[in-house]
Each structure stands twice: as C-alpha cells, then as structure tokens.
C-alpha cells in the first residue's frame, strides 16, 4: 500500500479502480458525453469507460466547454468517481468543482497504475496495487 499526498482541488471522498492515462484528457470531444467512453482515436484510453473509475492523468487540455462536458457526464451518471492529476488545469478543476467530483493534483501519478484500487480523502491518496 502506498500513501501519496496532493493538493485538494475539490474536497471529497471516493474510492474505486484506477484508470490511468499517460496523456492529457479533454472532456469535450474526447469523451462521449452520453456513454462516458473515451472516443478520441489514438488516445491510450480509447474505448475505455471512465464512469465510476478513479481517473488519473497528467493534466487537462482543450476547450472551456470541457468543464460543462464533465458536468454533463456527472448529471448522466457517467463521470469518474474522482480525478487525480499531476498538475491541474482550470478547465478540469472547474468541471470537478461544479460536478462535485473529488479532485487532487500535485500527485506523483507514476505511482498509480490502471487496475490499482485507489481511495481519496481530502489530499490523501491511498493506493493498493492490483493483485
């Protein structure tokens, strides 16, 4: 088990299975707003479902509409359970805040792998390696 700390962007508590991307994510046009599936061709997570997962990625990218897109995903029950970034960007931060999705950044995301069980409470991130 690993204990990591980060800066709280949106306070909250969540746990679940990690889905980790080595590349930035945009919630506008990259994630289908109706299904929560990554649809951007060539992205490492293409075809993956983000709903209910602890979504881990370096930073956000793209249009300011991404904040609303994340909110739309949350209202449809297709949003991630929490977001962990190496470095937050304002678009994802605003989206997490208005969507009530726990979010932390300034985390060494290289310590988290897809399939790990992750729990977030405030700025503390607990990681249990996948078995």
Among the listed residues 21, 63, 88, 99, the single catalytic one is 63
Rounded to 10 deg, the angle between the 90-99 and 65-75 helix axes is 30
Give residue for tokens 């605003």.
94
Catalytic residue status for 26: no
Q: How far apart are CA 82 and CA 14, in angstroms?
A: 6
Spatial CA neighbour of 73 closest among 92, 47, 46 = 92
Q: How far apart are CA 13 and CA 110, in angstroms?
A: 21
- Map residue 34 onto helix, strand or coil: coil
Q: Known catalytic residues? A: 63
């Amino acid at each position: 088990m690993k204990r990591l700390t980060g800066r709280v962007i949106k306070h909250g508590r969540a746990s679940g299975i990690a889905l980790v991307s080595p590349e930035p994510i945009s919630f506008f046009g990259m994630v289908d707003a109706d299904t929560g599936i990554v649809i951007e061709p060539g992205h490492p997570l293409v075809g993956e479902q983000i709903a209910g997962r602890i979504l881990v990625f370096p930073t956000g990218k793209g249009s300011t509409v991404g904040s609303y897109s994340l909110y739309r995903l949350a209202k449809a029950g297709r949003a991630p359970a929490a977001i962990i970034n190496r470095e937050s960007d304002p678009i994802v931060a605003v989206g997490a805040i208005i969507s009530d999705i726990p979010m932390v950044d300034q985390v060494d995301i290289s310590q988290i792998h897809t399939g790990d069980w992750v729990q977030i409470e405030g700025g503390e991130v607990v990681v249990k390696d996948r078995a």
